[in-house]
Structure 1
Amino acid sequence: MHVLILGGTTEGRRLAEALATDPAVRVTSSLAGRVAEPRLPAGEVRIGGFGGPAGLAAWLREQHVDALIDATHPFAGTISRNAAEAAAEVHVPLLALRRPSWVPVEGDRWHPVGSLAEAADALPGLGHRVFLTTGRQGLAAFAHLSDHWFLVRSVDAPEPPVPSATSVLLDRGPFTLDGERAVLREHRIDVLVTKDSGGAATAPKLTAARELGLPVVVVRRPEPPAGVPTTPDVAGALAWLTAR
């Protein structure tokens, strides 16, 4: 059985590791190639795009893929749509592996928004020293905010356009609660901006912000492609594959 995992996430790596020990399974993980030094999963790895849904469909045919698992980031909307179109075209079963969304708890001061542009619009009324944890892509949405100071955390250095007053923190999760507390205090952060990525690796920043009473601008996830079954964890993906 040949399983293609559209990966780049912790869940994708864990699934590949579990499948790589099974001699009856050939597992290939596809990474987008947006990180200079990605964490490579077990099994075969390909890096780079497919050329849209048609290119992905051709690859599925050529490589005789029996099952496709979309374990990309919850905000990787384009590849998820491409996967749904390609799987439907070549009749390959598709499953989306999506970690659950974060849920606010008592004490949280969340401000949900629909996009990075809406997040930028919300900042003037919330704070001036911004901890921006949405990744290095999409910073152009904040570039016009000249009255704010931004601490941008990303794995690789961002490219222009970026806000004029920006300090870059190169780091990769998982992050600890003590570490997040230190970042917020040392940089005198008064507002946090994040995407609803879900999972435990980057959740400590939410706890640290809650402890300090900071407002948090949370960008909502895009809707997944209609009709694609989903599972919240690796165990569910393994069960789905076993059933096939």
Structure 2
Amino acid sequence: MIKVLLVEDQEIVRRGLKTLLETKPDLRIVGEASNGQEAIQQLKTLWASSDQPDVVLMDIRMPIMDGVTATQMICQTFVGTKILVLTTFDDTRYVAEALRFGAKGYLLKDMPSEELAEAIRSIYKGYTQFGPGILENLISQAPLTEEPEQPELPPGLTELTPREREILRLIAVGSSNREIAQSLHLSEGTVRNHITHILGRLNLRDRTQAAILANSHLTWLEDSKN
């Protein structure tokens, strides 16, 4: 049985994919997510329960955290999880970046369900998969040395104060509240108040979500200090 995690921001598309794939007796949907950040949270939960997915079916253009950034973080953290990128955008830049970060294949959403299921099986076995014309476009148009596009800044990030941005940057690199307080010469209570405001401004649930988001925009946080 091949366990699959579906990551797609459009609920109707995600539901359709789930319905199609659940008709295959050798495939089982173990989780769903509407963006890259949710996918990482799902993976943490599934790995903790020893029900980790074998293949992640990953959309590219999503809010909060896109599929390219999520692919990078998943391949670094959840070693052995195979990612199959699925999108409506035949964009060689995204192909190159997703592959550079560890994706094993790249398909278009309009492919027949049986072909999609077969691609999942091939990825599970260790093969790579490309939709019609994608590999040719990649070779002819998109050098792998091209600079990755910076992920879009989420609402609220630019509204943080310089102090809050610095605290968010320190959260991203793993600093505790005590370490942040010592580094910025603040009390731990003040640091906690800042973090509460950061979570509210960015509509985040907890410190883990803040760390994931901050890592996605670490370059911007570093640059905003200057």
TM-score (norm 1): 0.36
Higher strand share: 1
- Bigger relative contact order, structure 1 or 2 (CA pairs below 8 A, ≥6 apart): 1
TM-score (norm 2): 0.38
Higher helix share: 2
